[in-house]
């Protein structure tokens, strides 16, 4: 266990606002968790790729950084990968591709840690974490013990899970169990992958995902950002039909329950926000769904941009955009 006090938040958030953190504790084991005590509920943090500190943080930060993985044969065609929360997600995907293990290759280049993946139920190109997740190991602060939560009880949804609701602030994810397949299971329905052959190699899919994402998403190490800033809104089919009659080129993805997911990037771009800036905070020039910090951005500028985007999209389409990124105040509570 290591604790750092009164340090810059810049290394702990890929948006890199200039805030201060009162204390950051890194834990390597369940024993460390048992010995960790705080008078207030700690802010749980992975690699900071989906968190923005809007103020100096008084609440303590807790990071579980153990990163081992183990492989267990489930049956002739499937293996269980038990991965500790501190493991980098993209590195796990890269390893799985090298091992010819199918199921998470479409989730390549998503920033962040394995422990953060279930919280958001990360997803891309027709695949979600929920598709391969078997369980999540969760350490409860109050009970001081680890609970294995089966995937069916994680309440996975679009960018959603029980860890954002009933278990929010109640503990920390320490490991994830994934079922991966030795048998090819390509998912190629999304634009950017649909030109690949049905029998595409897992390495080809992996490389194509990286190429597509790299062509339109900035590297957080080069240009500060937290990836896709807004969720793709899901609306009723009736509302989409009415909008489609007015905006013939509006794209969509029909959901299993007949609701309709509309790309937030399209809505935002149609309102003229691509490359638009409010001071040093703006929408990325190649992908307006990504909000970037050009270097000296401020929380006030970010708030100004969010408000403008939400108001214009709501006024034009009657669709309310919701931020996907976690923005925290001094007490570690969401500001939106």
Active site residues: 159, 228, 324
Helix-helix angle 202-216:89-98, to 10 degrees: 150
| CA angle in degrees (0–180, nearest 5) for 260-153-128 | 45
Buried (b) or exposed (e) across 89-126, using 16+ Cβ within 10 A? beebbbebbeeebbbbbbbbbbbbbbbbbbbbbbbbbe
The whole-angstrom distance between residue 238's C-alpha and the CA centroid of its chain comes to 29
> Which SS3 state, helix, strand or coil, does residue 31 take?
helix
Q: Which residues contact 304 (CB under 8 A, 6 or more apart)?
A: 278, 279, 281
Q: What's phi and psi for 301, nearest 5 deg?
A: -65, -40
- Ordered DSSP codes for 300-334: HHHHHHHHHHHHHHHHHHS----B-SEEE-TTS-B
Closest CA to 169 of 55, 62, 36: 62
Tokens 């369980």 sit on residue = 135
Q: What does 238-295 look like in DSSP terms, one character per residue?
A: HHHHHHHHH-TT---EE-TTS-EE--HHHHHHHTT-TT-EETTEEE-SS-TTEEEE-S
Quote the CA–CA distance of 155 and 268 in Å, as a whole number.
29
Buried b vs exposed e over 316-335: b needs ≥16 C-beta within 10 Å? ebebebebbbbbbbbebeee
């Amino acid at each position: 266990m290591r604790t750092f006090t009164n340090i810059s938040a810049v290394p702990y958030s890929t948006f890199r606002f200039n805030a201060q953190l009162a204390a950051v504790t890194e834990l390597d084991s369940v024993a460390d968790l048992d010995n960790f005590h705080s008078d207030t509920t700690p802010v749980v943090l992975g690699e900071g790729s989906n968190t923005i500190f809007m103020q100096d943080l008084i609440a303590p930060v807790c990071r579980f950084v153990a990163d081992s993985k183990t492989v267990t044969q489930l049956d002739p065609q499937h293996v269980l990968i038990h991965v500790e929360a501190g493991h980098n997600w993209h590195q796990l995907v890269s390893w799985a591709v090298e091992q010819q293990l199918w199921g998470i290759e479409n989730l390549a280049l998503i920033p962040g840690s394995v422990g953060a993946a279930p919280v958001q139920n990360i997803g891309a190109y027709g695949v979600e974490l929920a598709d391969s997740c078997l369980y999540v190991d969760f350490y409860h602060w109050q009970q001081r013990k680890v609970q294995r939560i089966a995937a069916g009880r994680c309440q996975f949804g679009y960018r959603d899970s029980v860890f954002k609701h009933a278990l929010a602030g109640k503990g920390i994810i320490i490991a994830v169990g994934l079922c991966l397949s030795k048998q090819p299971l390509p998912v190629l329905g999304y634009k950017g992958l649909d030109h690949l052959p049905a029998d595409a190699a897992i390495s080809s899919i992996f490389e194509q995902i990286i190429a597509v994402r790299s062509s339109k998403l900035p590297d957080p190490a080069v240009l500060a950002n937290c990836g896709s800033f807004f969720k793709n809104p899901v609306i009723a089919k009736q509302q989409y039909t009415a909008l489609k009659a007015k905006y013939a080129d509006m794209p969509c993805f029909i959901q299993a329950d007949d609701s309709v997911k509309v790309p937030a990037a399209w809505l935002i771009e149609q309102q003229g926000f691509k490359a638009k800036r409010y001071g040093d905070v703006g929408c990325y020039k190649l992908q307006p769904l990504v909000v970037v910090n050009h270097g000296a951005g401020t929380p006030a500028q970010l708030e100004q941009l969010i408000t403008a985007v939400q108001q214009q999209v709501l006024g034009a389409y009657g669709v309310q955009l919701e931020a996907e990124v976690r923005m925290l105040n001094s007490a570690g509570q969401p500001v939106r």
